[in-house]
Amino acid sequence: MSGLKQELGLAQGIGLLSTSLLGTGVFAVPALAALVAGNTSLWAWPILIVLVFPVAIVFAVLGRHYPSAGGVAHFVGMAFGNHMERVTGWLFLSVIPVGLPAALHIAAGFGQAMFGWHGGQLLLAELGTLILVWYIGSRGASSSANLQTIISGLIVALIVAIWWAGELQSTEIPFPAVTDIALPGLFAALSVMFWCFVGLEAFAHLASEFKNPERDFPRALMIGLVLAGSVYWACTVVVLHFGAYGEQMAAAASLPEIVVQLFGVQALWVACVIGYLACFASLNIYIQSFARLVWSQARYTPDHYLARLSSRQIPHNALNAVLVCCVISTLCIYALDINLDALIVYANGIFIMIYLLCMLAGCRLLKGRYRMLAVVGGLLCLLLLAMVGWKSLYAIIMLAVLWLFLPRRKQLESHL
């Protein structure tokens, strides 16, 4: 038993994963993909979904057989020992100082678009968002899932409304012929689009909170993946149809501009609210996942403050600790006026490394065709690390430093 309350159903799981994958990307990535690849980007989405499927299936199978709040760290620990589990956990937590403040900044940017906020006003909006995450997280995984299912529905409804108002027809979709696909543009689009599917590792931490993890966790993962991919593809069709992309246009402004074009400037607030909620959903699932990882690691020490659960069986103390780290990081980045764009790339290297470690764990723990899928997924992760280039050294160095200097436990308590 994990100790956490098992309250998630299939629909809630689909809502959690789809919103974590859509997140900030649904407003920006289709425009970025269209910029680097044009119409070829319409082929890139189905190709990417096919490429990600082996990775997703390995996550699903591991989550079904070994559900744990520890997520990928738990899988790696079962395959390679407790020290490697701690290393993987800390590697995941090392994203907090960089990735979460960046996502907060993007979310607060929709307030800037609506109200013209700047400087300290944006900082207050970011801190307010963290308070909202704390409130939702304090009410349990079910509350988060219900909210994010609603957000997922709003995102889909917005795209459907744009298709309807824009009178888009299937015959107007600019699918290039296979022989006309430009491979350099296709590869460039794939490297941009992959970041839309970062979120599987966060979802893995919630496997133990499903009512029936063996049945519903893998189903929610695969359905959520296809749903998110379909929404991204539909967004790309819209962006290409209206020409809402270019070097002189902010990528995140593409969908709001289309909404204004179709429904008038008075509808801008609708796009901004949905954009903010999409960012909030991604932030929420990551912070809840970080809290569960901290709680699962703290259980190795008897009666540890961070290992205690609230009366609702929620890792409340761990959630508070994660949010305090988020607040400190956000304040430091604001005070130092740090440019987050480059740091996000380093964070992405960490995510790819975590995916790679999960695939290696799958090679060790799984058998038959699932082991082969883990091998394929591992090769894909290596390819993605190569695409990141020299900036992937940050993830490699971080992994080596944690392996060498993270203290080893002398005596390990068994999981509850």
Q: Are 283 and 330 spatial neighbours (Cβ–Cβ below 8 Å)?
A: no
pLDDT in the model for residue 340: 59
The token duo for 2 is: 């994990």
Residue 119 belongs to a domain: yes
CA-to-CA separations, 306 to 2, 296, 298, in angstroms, rounded = 15, 9, 6
Most confident of 146-150, 297-301, 318-322: 318-322
Share of the chain above pLDDT 90, in %: 29
| Torsion 329-330-332-333 (CA) sign | positive
pLDDT of residue 342: 58
Of the listed ranges 74-78, 130-134, 213-217, 397-401, the least confidently predicted one is: 213-217
Query: Of the given ranges (288-292, 320-324, 337-341), which has the lowest mean pLDDT?
Result: 337-341
Looking at residue 129, what is its pLDDT?
Answer: 93
Q: What pLDDT score was predicted for residue 168? A: 86
Our count of domains for the chain comes to: 1
Assess whether pLDDT exceeds 50 at residue 60: yes
Q: Tell me the pLDDT band of 1, cut-offs 50, 70 and 90.
A: very low
Q: According to the model, what pLDDT value does residue 415 have? A: 43
Q: How far apart are CA 122 and CA 117, in angstroms?
A: 6
- Two tokens at 303? 């009666």
Calpha distance 27→325 (Å, rounded) = 27
Task: Report if residue 301 sits inside a domain.
Answer: yes
Please give the average per-residue pLDDT across 180-185, as a whole number. Answer: 80
Q: Give the integer Cα–Cα distance in Å for 387 and 337.
A: 28
Give the per-residue pLDDT at 5.
77
The predicted structure's pLDDT at residue 412: 44
Note whether residue 411 is domain-resident: no
Predicted pLDDT at 341: 57
For position 343, what pLDDT does the model report? 63
C-alpha atoms less than 13 angstroms from C-alpha of 366 in its C-beta half-sphere: 26
Tens digit of pLDDT for each residue in 92-132? 888 888 778 878 887 887 887 777 787 888 899 999 999 99
Q: For residue 238, name the pLDDT band (cuts at 50, 70, 90).
A: very high
State residue 162's pLDDT score. 93
pLDDT computed for residue 81 by the predictor: 93
- pLDDT of 204 > 90? The answer is no
> Mean pLDDT across the chain, nearest whole number?
85
**Is 359 within a domain?**
yes
3-state secondary structure of 8: strand
User: Rounded to the nearest 5°, which phi and psi values hold at 246?
Assistant: 155, 165
Which comes out higher in pLDDT, residue 342 or 217? 217
Name the residue range of residue 266's domain.
Answer: 10-405
- State whether the Cα torsion 148-154-158-160 is positive or negative: positive
Q: Is 414 among the domain residues? A: no
**Would residue 413 count as lying in a domain?**
no
pLDDT tens-place string over residues 335-368: 887 765 556 667 778 888 999 999 999 999 999 9
Mean pLDDT calculated for residue range 48-57:
87
Q: What is the pLDDT of residues 245-277, one digit of tens each?
A: 887 766 667 888 899 999 998 888 998 899 899
User: Looking at residue 29, which CATH number applies to its domain?
Assistant: 1.20.1740.10
Residue 190 predicted with pLDDT over 50:
yes
Alpha carbon 198 to its chain's center: 4
Q: Is the pLDDT of residue 199 over 80?
A: no
Burial string for 172-207 (b: 16+ CB within 10 Å, else e) reads: eeeeeeeeebeeebbebbbbbbbbbbbbbbbbbbbb
Task: Please report the pLDDT score of residue 108 as a whole number.
Answer: 82
pLDDT at residue 68 in the model: 86
pLDDT tens digits along 24-37: 678 888 888 888 88
Over its C-alpha atoms, the chain yields an Rg (Å, rounded) of: 21
Whole-angstrom distance, CA of residue 34 vs CA of residue 322? 36
Q: Would you say residue 391 has pLDDT above 80?
A: no
